[in-house]
Amino acid sequence: MSYIYKRTANYYETDMMGIVHHSNHIRYFEESRLAYMKSRGLDVLQMEKEGIIIPNVDAYAKYFVPVRFGETVDIEVSLTTFNGTKMEYTYTMRRENGEIAATGHTMHCFVKDTFRPISLKKSFPEYYEKLLGMLE
């Protein structure tokens, strides 16, 4: 199951060429992932209050066409891998005409505040089930 997140490029996110700086694509991916998780009852802020920290351990983006200031893009995000201790999301960013601007993925794990890995299945089964239900 995927989720579509709409995002309009801000002026401050652009570079001297007038396009969204490549580093901001990873930020857009993160925004879309957090919105997707929240839409499925997985509020990351609440999870952190309960002691679950979700660091990013890998991020990748491939760029096809530039996104410019004021342009709105749709970011399709999907949970593609999940085993209870780590998860991977994939992203496809499309311009308003449907053209793919960028694709990418991010990998995350689950840790306590000591940064020791945890298994959601054992420690937080309700979150485990919600994430399992999001798998593509």
- Active-site residue list: 15
Following DSSP, what letter does each residue of 15-62 receive, concatenated?
-TTSBB-THHHHHHHHHHHHHHHHHTT--HHHHHHTT-B--EEEEEEE
The CA distance from 65 to 27, in Å, is 17
Place of tokens 């499309």: 94
Strands 72-82 and 86-94: antiparallel
